Amino acid sequence: MRSPRPLILLFFLLVMLFCSYQLFLLDQHRRAVKEDLIELSKIKYGLFSVDEWKQILSTIISKKIEELNFTPSQKVEMKAKVSAFLTKTIAEMEDRFYEEESQSVSGWLKIGVAGLTGMFDRMKKEVPIYTEQILDFLNDPGNRNKVKGYIMDKLSEYTDKTFAKIDYTEHNRILAQYGYGDRSQTIIGLQAELDNHQQQSRNYLLALFAFIAASGLMLLLTLRVQRLELLIYTLICFLLLGIGLLLPMIEIDARIDEMSFTLLDQPVSFTDQVLYYKSKSILEVVRLMLAQGKTDVMMVGFLVLLFSVLFPVAKLISSMIYIYNAKLRDTRFVRFMVFKTGKWSMADVMVVAIFMSYIGFSGILTEQLNQLEGLTQKLDILTTNKSSLQTGFFLFTSFAILSLLLSQKIQGMVPVKQE
């Protein structure tokens, strides 16, 4: 009676192929949405945006001008301050007048006229009248709006001359594409889409890992593995390698979660400001490195391609050749790939390297963000390191483990020719 294991494994392979395909499609859309969400959350549109600061200052100035509608007690206090200011100004103007005009004969004539008419004394006596007129002007709603408009125009003029304008082309494209509304509404909508994609991806991922674990358990418990089974296991390894290389492995995400301070007695807060974000698969990293045109960078890209793609593929193909082709079985290359690299393959090295890179990036970002939090006591800064290992890393790790088990089974089943 034939063993049902090949049919079971074939079913596992088809289910894993379906789950992998769905994961890939979901991830493509998820990454597009995430990139757009990151773009809208970048610090250049928030803390570093002159337009954002103009809006904040406009709100604060408008509120301060509206507060000029004095209460009786405030009016008494303000009247005293305005009166003292006008008295001081007139006195300084009088001193400057006598000092400047005393330098010439015509100036002495002007001084004499000013003394006879009592010009400065009359101005000082009329300070209370001037004070009332100024307060009435400020209390008039129409005049307050004119003052407000003048200040806003000057604020826009100064900022336009001082700061470079931000390119909103990509920003506006994203808002128009999704149609949620303004930037804050679009961010909320995109986050909801991401949460939905994450839930769908989680279901497929759990199913995929369940079948991977079942396949690995069957491989461990099977004493005598048939050639057809070895072929299916090899195809499963190819599938895991391919999806592991296509999906992102590491996501580096550093941001200011919240930054709060007080400006002109008014609270100001910036939230979720992205400082740095990158999420790439191994194949994308290789493509970027090889496209740089710099010898050292291209060399690193070639090494990554060699150890993460070419080496594992060659190892799996060599395993299939060793099982099914007796003529090529004894070639030095095939025997080397099957027997000499089984205990510690380059895929394993890549897994360790990627994991250590993640630990290093995460540690550096955490340290730098902690330093940012301690810059000053006048700001309340809460930073966040949202870096994480992604699906591609765990699938690539699964491939490394399953291919290692497969190599051990092949070595245990096929007699090794003594060299």
- Per residue in 49-79, pLDDT (tens digit) is 777 877 787 777 777 766 666 667 767 777 7
Contact of 240 with 396, CB cutoff 8 Å: yes
- Tell me, yes or no, whether 26 and 74 share the same domain: no
CA distances, 131 to each of 77, 84, 389 (Å): 12, 10, 68
Q: Residue 307 belongs to what domain range? A: 5-32+200-413
* 252/126 Cα distance (integer angstroms): 69
Instruction: Tell me what pLDDT residue 191 has.
Output: 92
Domain-located, residue 193: no
DSSP string, 36-75: HHHHHHBGGGTTT-HHHHHHHHHHHHHHHHHTTS--HHHH
- Quote the tokens at residue 231: 């072929």
What is the model's pTM? Answer: 0.71
Pair 322, 211: CB distance under 8 Å? no
- Domain end (from 116, 132, 162): 162
From 218-232, 247-261, 306-320, 340-354, the region with the lowest mean pLDDT: 340-354
Mean pLDDT of 145-153: 71
Q: Are residues 149 and 207 in the same domain?
A: no
Q: Is 225 helix (H, G, I), strand (E, B) or coil?
A: coil
CA distance 390 to 385: 15
Residue 109 in any domain: the answer is yes
Q: What is the pLDDT of residue 63?
A: 74
Contacts of 384 (CB under 8 A, 6+ apart): 254, 255, 256, 257, 369
Number of domains in the chain: 2
Same domain, 79 and 147: yes
Whether 361 shows a pLDDT value over 60: the answer reads no
Q: Are residues 364 and 314 in the same domain?
A: yes
Q: Looking at the structure, tell me whether residues 244 and 96 fall in a common domain.
A: no
* Closest by Cα among 270, 266, 404, 268 to 342: 404
